[in-house]
Amino acid sequence: MADVALFVHSTGVGPFMWNKLLVGLPEGIAPLTPTNRGYSPSDLLARGTPFSLQDEVAHLKAQIPEGTTGVHLGGHSYGGLVALSLAMDPAVPVRSLWLYEPVLFGSLNAEADTLQGDVAEQVRALFTDREFLLNEETGGDDAWLERFVDYWNFPGMWASMPDKAKLIARAVGWKMYHEVRMVSQEPEPFAHYRLSVPTTLVYGEHTQPPAAEMVRRLAAVNPHADVTELKGQGHMAVVGAPDAVLPTLQAHWARVMK
């Protein structure tokens, strides 16, 4: 059985985000891009349904074909947290990790007394503002979706989206809320995510300050990791600028296959 490149999609999108990135994989590595729980039309989560990071990890582990000899993990944003959680599972034969801005707000919050500037301000707002993204009563509604989408893109992004895209987002809104809650409440401390396999960490020059700080702190506990800042790009470059992101993956595969 071949090794697989299991790449986990981020909040509000789907496996399609990897279509232009998992091309030209090294010989012996097959792409595996499953759909996260709560995104398939037959698997939507009704409002009030509980969900945990462990549920997501178990779902994705079940997608790994029997007999797989090695797993190269990748992820973006929430998918980065899930990939890190999979990497910590001794039952998963991890060979490498490539992560674009894995989001671990909970890990940052645990070190709140060491944060400064915009990073400290945004983390504090997330955990103290009841009108912000951790409000269960409004999680996944239109106002919540607008705040989430605009935060990671730009002000007015939600308003500019076509009605069809908004309908899709509303259908998965409750799961999106859970994903924000999980990255805020369920991550372990950064030191928990010490890795012994080839690792690439990528972040955009114009991303939100906490996202860049998460990469820096993850790199601090993984000094062997290759860290790349993508000039001119933001958090959603994986979706919006795959041609800019692809060279980081090509460089990753070159290091892994030495």
pLDDT higher for 132 or 120? 120
**C-alpha of 239 from chain center:** 12
Q: pTM of the prediction?
A: 0.96
When pLDDT is averaged across residues 97-122 and rounded to a whole number, the result is: 97
Residue 65 CB neighbour total at 10 angstroms: 10
Give strand pairing partners of 6.
Answer: 32, 73
The model's confidence at residue 147, banded by pLDDT at 50, 70 and 90, is very high
Cβ burial, residue 200 (10 Å; 0-12/13-18/19+): buried
Give strand pairing partners of 97.
Answer: 73, 199
Query: Are the beta carbons of 125 and 133 closer than 8 angstroms?
Result: no
When pLDDT is averaged across residues 149-155 and rounded to a whole number, the result is: 95
When pLDDT is averaged across residues 18-24 and rounded to a whole number, the result is: 95
The model's confidence at residue 129, banded by pLDDT at 50, 70 and 90, is confident
Query: Are the beta carbons of 170 and 69 closer than 8 angstroms?
Result: no
Phi, psi for 27 (deg, rounded to 5): -60, 135
**Average pLDDT in the chain:** 96
- The pLDDT of residue 1 is above 70: no
d(CA 162, CA 58): 34
Cβ burial, residue 164 (10 Å; 0-12/13-18/19+): exposed
- The pLDDT of residue 15 is above 70: yes
Nearest to 214 by CA among 195, 224, 198, 227: 227
Helix (H, G, I), strand (E, B) or coil at 203: strand
When pLDDT is averaged across residues 229-256 and rounded to a whole number, the result is: 97
The model's confidence at residue 133, banded by pLDDT at 50, 70 and 90, is confident
d(CA 4, CA 201): 19
- The pLDDT of residue 130 is above 80: no
- The pLDDT of residue 7 is above 80: yes
pLDDT given at position 212: 98
When pLDDT is averaged across residues 160-166 and rounded to a whole number, the result is: 96
pLDDT given at position 18: 98
Tokens found for residue 106: 């909970």
Query: Are the beta carbons of 169 and 176 closer than 8 angstroms?
Result: yes
d(CA 65, CA 198): 22
